[in-house]
Amino acid sequence: MIEARNVSYRLQGVQVLKELSFSLAGGGLHGIIGPNGAGKSTLLRLISAVETPDEGELLLDGRRSDRYSRKEAARWIAMLQQGGLPPAGFTVREIVAMGRYPFQNWLGEEKEDPSALIDEALETMGLLGLQNRRMDQLSGGERQRVALAKAMVQQPRLLLLDEPTTYLDIGYQVQLLDTVRRWQRSRGLTAVAALHDLNLAALYCDDLLVLHEGKVVAFGTPSEVLTADMLKRVYGTEAAIITHPGTGAPQVLLQTMKG
């Protein structure tokens, strides 16, 4: 579904991405990892068709990303931004309903009533009891759950997540990613998530794309990618890799200096 062919991108004259080439299969949960400034968020914006490459081609479902209009792309691509939705005077239900915007006419109307979709998304994310509360009355974690519910009612085929667990405590991190994975598998979605937490990435993602200094330096399954050598080269840190006793996924144990 997603193919990059020698994609490069500059931001304010600075080369952020450099000749990226990769292919992500449809129907999977793909992770993008790498240190700060590696280009993870920029790559997600390119995949969302909000930005277009300066060089090379990015194909979405076999079509160049710059051939999609903003509204056309929004009918099948949903983006969950880093940090969730900002505080606003709208209620939770009103914000979630905004996920239907790409399907509305210029009067803000749809052919069918979306209320059932909205109710389902609110229930899935545990927000029914908060649906009439204003966004500026919610915590950062609650706003992140609202953002995912808004994406759900959009009924996308491609879901993009930029650091979705930011501001969430460990319980909500697991709950959010469990929900994303169940949703992705039950609907056959393609999901791409930029993640800082390598252990969460290994637990939830089918494969990992590693960015470093704007380039792809590794791509494969978590077991293939998460090695002590890679962590030393990309993150500049010593680490040991163990196997998760429940899932078999690799997990990273950081090592501190002695003395």
Whether 60 is in a domain gets the answer yes
Q: Which range of residues forms the domain containing residue 103?
A: 2-221
Q: Residue ranges of the chain with pLDDT lower than 50?
A: none
Whether 56 is in a domain gets the answer yes
Question: What confidence tens digit (pLDDT) does each residue in 37-80 have?
Answer: 999 999 999 999 999 999 999 999 999 999 998 889 988 999 98
Whether 250 is in a domain gets the answer no
Q: What is the pLDDT of residue 110?
A: 80
Q: What is the pLDDT of residue 2?
A: 96
Number of domains in the chain: 1
Angle at 73 between CA 68 and CA 78, to 5 degrees: 155
Q: What is the pLDDT of residue 102?
A: 87
Which among 26, 45, 68 is positioned nearest to 187, based on CA atoms?
Answer: 26
Q: Mean pLDDT across the chain, nearest whole number?
A: 92
Whether 237 is in a domain gets the answer no
Name residue, tokens 């056309």.
Answer: 72
Terminal Cα distance for the chain, rounded: 50
Whether 185 is in a domain gets the answer yes
Q: What is the pLDDT of residue 258?
A: 62
**57, 2 contact by CB (below 8 A):** no
We report the CATH number of the domain holding residue 195 as 3.40.50.300
Whether 149 is in a domain gets the answer yes
